[in-house]
Amino acid sequence: MKSKKDELEFDVMPAPGNLGPGKIFDGQPPKQTPKLRYWLIFGIVVLLGVLSYLVYAKYFAQTPEDAKVPDITVNRPAGNADSDKDGLTDAEETRFATDRAKADTDGDGLADGDEVNIYGSDPLLYDTDSDTFDDGREIARGFSPLTDSKGAAQAAELKKWADGITKFGLHEPTPTTLKLKAAASEAESGTTYENKKFGYAIAIPTVLAVREGTEGRSVGVYVKDTIPDPDIDFDPITLTAAVKVAGQTLQEWVATQYPPGDESRIFSEIEVNSLKGQQIRGIIGEECAANKTFFAKGESVFIITLRCNDLASFVELYDQIVQSFKFQ
């Protein structure tokens, strides 16, 4: 029989190693994963997901616009390209045999596109109706470039021009040509420029203006109401004073400064107001070919230059200035 002491004693926990089959305790507390580790793993997964989405959206995903418009710019034909901005596309230039790199192929002062679309003149002919007046001059003064007539263009033709201008617009050099050639006949009623330092004078059409540089040694002539280039040498027409060797003739000086050799140049003698001079047309420069006229007085040489002789709108004005040159 057990005592009360024996009855109160009991095993709270079996001794290690004494568990039989189905034991659930081996002497070490069961391992458990802390909650912090779960949150850490969860956070890493979320961060990787966000980063992956951002990379995909920036470098791989297409916007709706990207999906609708495939990138075909490399092979897209430039069907409306107008390289010289004369109103004709490059494809049309090929069809009309005009120069896609030159706005005025025939040099009459009218843009090729304006001749084709507005005036109906031939962009390959300087004088479409062969009446000795270039197309630009005729149109500027209200005459038809299509008919050899002394009368002005008829109302129907003038309306056609107006409608064409409204529809297509004008392209350079046409606007400049119309302005200058229309005023070219005004040379006689224009102003007279006098260079007091070197003692010469020229007539200036009212459409042009004059400015002096280097105390009158260089003179620039440009279109009135326009802002000229800071360098007078870039004006369409310039007059420059130079010096030749004592006893040297003007012809010898010109041959020394501009020796023959370029077959495209045209040398000629000229007489203006009882003055004998020299003239060269087609002096090749970096940008364009120039015309130059030379007069002499004592040891001084005076050079009148048309900077670009393909500026048809200035050719007539240049010739008028040359013809008006005189010493005072």
Give the predicted TM-score (pTM) of the model.
0.54
| Three-state SS at 63 | coil
195 and 286 share a domain?
yes
308 and 228 share a domain?
yes
Which of 172, 207, 238 delimits the end of a domain?
172
Cα dist from 246 to 242, 249, 250, 279, 300, whole Å: 13, 9, 11, 21, 10
256 and 228 share a domain?
yes
Which of 143, 172, 201 delimits the end of a domain?
172
Asked if the structure places residue 29 within a domain, the reply is: no
| Three-state SS at 241 | strand
191 and 148 share a domain?
no
Asked if the structure places residue 96 within a domain, the reply is: yes
Asked if the structure places residue 259 within a domain, the reply is: yes
95 and 220 share a domain?
no
Total count of domains within the chain? 2
Task: State the sign of the Cα–Cα–Cα–Cα dihedral 206, 208, 214, 217.
Answer: negative
Q: Residues 312, 104: contact at Cβ < 8 Å? A: yes
> Which range of residues forms the domain containing residue 317?
186-327
129 and 190 share a domain?
no
pLDDT in 10s for each residue of the chain, 328 residues: 444 445 444 444 455 444 444 444 444 555 555 666 666 676 777 777 767 766 666 655 555 544 444 443 334 345 689 999 999 999 999 999 999 999 999 888 899 999 999 999 999 998 898 887 888 888 988 889 998 877 788 888 989 999 999 999 999 989 888 877 766 554 445 689 999 999 999 999 888 899 999 888 999 999 888 888 999 999 999 999 999 988 899 999 998 898 876 666 788 898 998 899 999 988 887 778 899 999 999 999 999 999 987 777 788 889 889 999 999 8
Q: What CATH number has the domain bearing residue 204?
A: 3.40.1000.10
161 and 194 share a domain?
no
Asked if the structure places residue 40 within a domain, the reply is: no
149 and 194 share a domain?
no
108 and 155 share a domain?
yes
Asked if the structure places residue 274 within a domain, the reply is: yes
Which of 172, 199, 217 delimits the end of a domain?
172
303 and 202 share a domain?
yes
146 and 253 share a domain?
no
262 and 160 share a domain?
no
Q: Following DSSP, what letter does each residue of 148-182 receive, concatenated?
A: --SSPPPHHHHHHHHHHHHHH---TTHHHHHHHHH
